[in-house]
Amino acid sequence: MRCPVCNKPAHTRTSRYITQTMKEAYYQCQNIACSCTFKTVESLEKIISAPVSEPSMAEKKS
């Protein structure tokens, strides 16, 4: 994600899942003269291709 202020690359500081398909992340701009911090929300838009048989929860964790 690029900084919305100076358009330089920003690094993720921390992120957490809000729901199973939605994640928020906090970013800090790598441009030391800017140092903007901002938050984004990433969410699932569409499943393009789902498995024919859904894997069990045990398989997902391994």
In the complex, which residues of this chain contact Zn ion (CB under 5 A)? 3, 5-6, 29, 31, 34, 36
Residue 3, CA atoms < 13 Å, CB-side half-sphere: 17
Minimum CB–partner distance for residue 25 and Zn ion (Å):
16
Residue number, 25 or 36, with CB nearest to Zn ion: 36
Minimum CB–partner distance for residue 10 and Zn ion (Å):
7
Listed in sequence order, the residues at least 6 apart from 23 whose beta carbon sits closer than 8 Å to its beta carbon are 15, 16, 17, 41, 42, 43
Tokens representing 57 are 């929860």
Minimum CB–partner distance for residue 27 and Zn ion (Å):
10
